[in-house]
Structure 1
């Protein structure tokens, strides 16, 4: 049957070689399908410019109930449709027709069974074929176009072939709207698109739908659609549903560039929540409620003209139609270039009577009542609520649940810390180092931290403090044995004494090396502090993460774009991780007020964080397009909540509590001036010096170095008798010994403030008198 029809069509086309013959039969041409679309560029109707805005009074019954997109590109100027235009030669028409016949009828397409459609309550559950079987008995009609340029052919169902300009445009746009008894609508769109020779990489068209639509009362409803099937040139394809700034994008693309000519696109959608219901206030109303559908047949997003368009609206059985209307144009102006026809079955057909300019469209409206409505098994109030507010509601519930969980966990951990069940054990030897203790008390890394580490290395005999002939403070390596050093002290030694070097001058030339050593110390001390002084409830924290992941998967499944939404959320989490890391550092700088001391570092952190912040903002904006703005805000709040409690759930460990509880006793020992212990060691001067060096780093960490040194100075029988062996400089051994040594050590580091002077003058050189 198909081969016979193609043969018959080709025969009729070859026989139709005269425009005069067509003119004689023009009045007999009829298209008795759902809609009549026969207007052409050379129509005999009265011409008027499609680029001038019609009056608002022409909207008729639809006045005030429709919302249109921007139509500014079609006002007072013709669209730039471009393309390859050639002067027609004597046999150009015949060559064009021959090429078009080969394109339209030369290929044999494979027949593939389309996926089965779901069963709905409808008397018309399947689409009528584009060309009905009876149409093959009718005479094929050919419509010539009086156009002085290259042309191609387009097929108009059921039995017409027309010439159209070989320029990019849509010669035929037809929409079949079937209203199902369950409240959904099934829409099948048939679109013919001319691909001009200049379009080399054209792979398909994109259909756009607004994310929301507004009814006559101004109430906003969310668009919810499912793609049932799609094809290009009668070959099934997988249509892609994508989020877009305009709302929802349906991509009807092939894997290869399409050849110049006319291509046929067909797609079937299922729309939920598209029909609005209103109370019927008429006294003699046939039904207590009536329904209304506003449908944008073509949409207003096309940047090319649409020359022929129409729609058929099929209602449920025994429906009473109250009113119907339509509108053409766009935001810049509306018109009435349409006609409406109602058949015996109470169904409507809408026909475009004049071409649409770019960014103009055809929108139809109808309201009706169902006298005997069928039972509704889905899309009740709960279903509609989920469609409208499902992602926001689930996001709100997830955020409140995770927030309340973490708050309850935080209070529980704090309560356990305040009322411990068992007494904490005393700290043992090796539980902490002086530098970690200093960080635990100060919560910041300063040159004093490195000074404490160096004092500990000196007390173990690894290095000594000395000075050269220029009175420059030196660190001198005394031995290669590192077995008594801690891992951090070993790394510091490796940074100070490289290769065969045995001394390190504390000069401004080595300031950069010292800064790098400080960075290494900061990482190690913070890590050791968190390990020994705090504990993190991994189980409780990751359970909250698990709940957040379940919420993300659930929200993604409720979106129109499940995979895209999930990947967007996953990408947002990946970007948020470094953002939270650098954001935490900036927060610490601001909280500790150290950013004023190191503005360059603060600016550097801000510059690093900006790309991540911009990327996260873009991802959340994209996520809001897929769901709602409030859903995106709640997801961001969920990320902030997790990041905040990651820091807040960290609590003091048993060791940390033990150190804090027993630190007062140790401070009392360091500040005491009792020399009983020293009297028992009077004859062992070396042991007294070792005792001084052993506790000196802790005394500096606790800011008791002056009292600790005073104790040994007072016990000395003569000046500098108990000066430590690891110091070989000129500073006298007094109670200010350590303070003066640190002042010399600190000089190598950049000043906190250019106008700030040293804590104490140098003991090596006298200050220059003015």
Structure 2
């Protein structure tokens, strides 16, 4: 702890000198907060707000949000319980009120005015203080809020985890709501993370899963349904729509799936997942890069990052370098677009470090659109009449509208269920019926090709004499998550080092290439290229998460 305080002090010290803020009546000199995570997922928060009154004031007021919007923009209510309220370490006179969005705390005596320096302490507890992700959980807390009447000169926060839990990742953001500036210092020591800034402050602390028990979907749903029988209505609507689809909308049965030794219609790997589902996710850029490498447009080189000093005790990271071998002539539009993004500004080589965060979300959406447009050319799915689609969309929107308006009365679960019911109605409208006979056959062929890639060793006698077999089918194996299975099929066969892939690791067989390629390109490089967003991983913004609000003087 002493080490943490020393580091934290060093972070804070350079920020104690700054230009005088132009507050006329009063100023906020410091805003310090301590946030303790409890094992039940609640947060115990203690705020110390140091102010200076240049004119006579009764005190300050603090506005604390008691609801926030989740990733789907739905409002989530959180429990709030006010604890001690102090002025200069002594019990203060205060009043409180609340509405559906905020808790209002007015501190001070209406019959007494004060001047000069004073410190206000506000202790409170909030429920549901943790956000849950697949690989980690997170406290994403707006420490100061950004709706104060005056600027905050310095701010700090200390976040403490329970039971010896370890901090995995941290981020902090400064400025007004929506700002991605990170003019703040961070120090961590085991289960404690400390932050310092000279502005409004939002912090994010990620930690391992299991520290706080995550409520199951059924636990959340059960409690809401007990208090809101109206929630059965959207469930019933989904049941009715499902029956309609079962009776009228199911596609014809597909023929037997057998192993296919080639991708149908000479489709490149990135398009194959979109054949199997009309709701394709983000394109697998690693497969696109390997496709271009195999076809001679670029070369992939992998080497361990050189480190010095204390850095040598950590496992070295992989540095991936892409080298342009020829121009993009001959590539389709999606691969050409990605090729030009990789080698923008006339460069002929680029590393994963240079690519990190260089491709914008807009550019990635354009790449996704190009991939989807190519898939549409296969005419897999039937085109619906505007009237047919319109009726389902209209009925779905009605359900969504009802849910949003009932949400204020019955709570967020009601809104979620009605919205889901509306979305399901719209989706079923597009799915009744869905696939063409040509499309059904194409799906069968892709499934057969996927079967071959996963069981290729059984059919080795039919393909082992073909040239460049490994690299030819490697990109499709990547998109189907069968990279290692595909490499295992080459066990015992003569190994030929491909000229499109170079690594300082010992590559003596195809499984070694698969492992090296997966770590360096499929995981590392693709992650650097693909835009992403979270709080503690650095994809958040000031004003995000829970907490926040603001205040003023009176």
What range is the shorter-chain TM-score in? Answer: 0.3 to 0.5
Larger radius of gyration: 1
Q: Give 1 or 2: higher strand fraction.
A: 2
**Structure with more relative contact order (C-alpha pairs < 8 Å, separation 6 or more):** 2
What TM-score does the superposition give when structure 1 sets the normalisation length?
A: 0.29
